[in-house]
Structure 1
Amino acid sequence: MGKRSVLLFLVISFIGFVIVYWFWPHNEKLPILDKVDAFQLEDVHGETYQLNNGKIKLITFFYTNCPDICPLTMMDFKELQSELKEEGLFGEKVELVAISFDPENDQQQTIKQYAKSFQTDLSGWKWLRGTPEETKQIAGGLQMQYQKLEGDFFSHSTTMYLLDQHNNIRAIYSMANANKPIEKKDILEDIFFLADHF
């Protein structure tokens, strides 16, 4: 894939994010933006993960060969994990969910090692992988775009999703980059709001 195609893909992904944000109602605290269809995926550390578990979730996609955005985001997730533990919400009412969109390369053991590098507490931080078909279906339902490039790299949109206990999308955020971490303060405030209305 040429540089022009990659640039076009990223521009289209950014425009999609802007459109979602533009039409997001701003007169209500965390309005329902959409609903995610229930799914189940392999939890690489244990039993099959069920989305319908009655918990608040912050969902992000990743792939272990990602050189920048994904690991930076996971470092911020590590900080969220600590903050949520201090509030007594981690694992009880709130989960962090990371879904690989490169299951062909991200085998179970590969993801386990990747998760370990971020000092994951498995009681509330779930690492999931599915078949390529399952992954594509789930990503499509969330309007998450990704495309394989040359080698083992991907171009991908950088949206994260906050779901309430009924699997409604209540907020969207940008993943981290070299110049800006994720919006931890805003995310925590939104999670606390949902937890207070659990």
Structure 2
Amino acid sequence: MDQPMEEQTQQPAAQNKPQRSWLRRYGFSLFVLALCLVMGYYIYMQQNKKDELPVQGKGAEFSYTDSDGANVTLSGTNGKARLLYFFFATCPDVCPPTTFLMSQVQDVLKKDGVFGDEVEFLSVTIDPTHDTPEVLKEYAKRFNADPSGWKFLRGDEKETAALARKYEILVTKDDQGNFGHMNLIVLLDKDGQIRDWISLNDYLEQGDKNLTAKDMAKKIESLL
């Protein structure tokens, strides 16, 4: 009677032995594999964050009229990524090539089917006395600006200079009435938040590091 009982108590021990051996053999490898997966996911997420454009601040509200007399505000264009550029039509140096670059970016965005509906350009003159609606229309035509997604705006001169400062762009005017300004394009997201300041210098010939209109379009589309 006692012998069968002994066999019954010993049998579970024999069944547990292979299980403990499997854990000893593969447990550490599984732990290392899990750790590698966690680290790989972390590195992947960090790399993606580097590609994101951080929020630099809230864009200042404004209200201007375009070359057709329609009112345009920052909040009224929310829901679209925007390029905001302060310029003047008689600018002898940086404004024409910057506006030309924007026209190239416009063409890329149009091919991608997002210009106008999801992306808008806003060019604000710092010299509204000279840059009348007629002058702005002619300037826009010179660069093949598509009015469905590119507005040329004007307002009060002093208020515009103050607005530019809120976007960290300095506008000057000397005693002879000559204007000057920091040549930066402000990139705003759909919520009106500043995401970047784009310099024309980054898109000039720089050897292998030269950026293109497609690069700028890609940066804009990352906010859509």
Aligned equivalent of 2:114: 89
Query: Offset at 1:33?
Result: 0.4
Residue number among 126, 138, 142 corresponding to 1:113 in the alignment: 138
Aligned equivalent of 2:221: 192
Residue number among 30, 39, 54 corresponding to 2:53 in the alignment: 30
Query: Offset at 1:155?
Result: 2.2
Report the RMSD for the aligned CA atoms in angstroms: 2.3
Residue number among 124, 141, 144 corresponding to 2:166 in the alignment: 141
Letter matched to residue 97 of structure 1: L
Residues 145, 190 of structure 1: CA spacing in aligned structure 2 closer, same or farther, 3 A cutoff? same
Secondary structure of residue in 2 paired with 1:126: strand
Matches within 5 A, 1:64-79: 64-79=89-104
Which structure has the larger Rg over C-alpha atoms? 2
> Which structure shows the bigger proportion of residues in helix conformation?
2
Secondary structure of residue in 1 paired with 2:223: helix
Q: How far apart, in 2, do the equivalents of 1:189 and 1:129 lie?
A: 29
Query: Offset at 1:137?
Result: 2.6
Q: How far apart, in 2, do the equivalents of 1:178 and 1:28 lie?
A: 19
Q: How far apart, in 2, do the equivalents of 1:89 and 1:47 lie?
A: 22
Matches within 5 A, 1:1-198: 27=50, 29-52=52-75, 53-54=77-78, 55-149=80-174, 151=176, 153-175=178-200, 180=205, 184-195=213-224
- Deviations along 1:22-55, one digit per CA (max 9) or x if unpaired, are xxxx856101001112221111124101211221
Number of matched residues? 170
Q: How far apart, in 2, do the equivalents of 1:168 and 1:186 lie?
A: 21
Aligned equivalent of 1:22: none
Contact 1:73 1:182 in 2 (8 A): no
Query: Offset at 1:109?
Result: 1.2
Structure 1 runs (4+) deviating above 4 angstroms are 176-183
Secondary structure of residue in 1 paired with 2:190: coil
Give structure 1 stretches of 5+ with no counterpart: 1-25
Contact 1:36 1:168 in 2 (8 A): yes
% same residue: 34
Q: How far apart, in 1, do the equivalents of 2:87 and 2:62 lie?
A: 18
The structure with higher relative contact order (CA 8 Å, sep 6+) is 1
Q: How far apart, in 2, do the equivalents of 1:84 and 1:71 lie?
A: 20
Residues 28, 192 of structure 1: CA spacing in aligned structure 2 closer, same or farther, 3 A cutoff? closer
Task: Using structure 1 for the length normalisation, give the TM-score.
Answer: 0.78
Give structure 2 stretches of 5+ with no counterpart: 1-48
Secondary structure of residue in 1 paired with 2:165: helix
Q: How far apart, in 1, do the equivalents of 2:108 and 2:100 lie?
A: 13
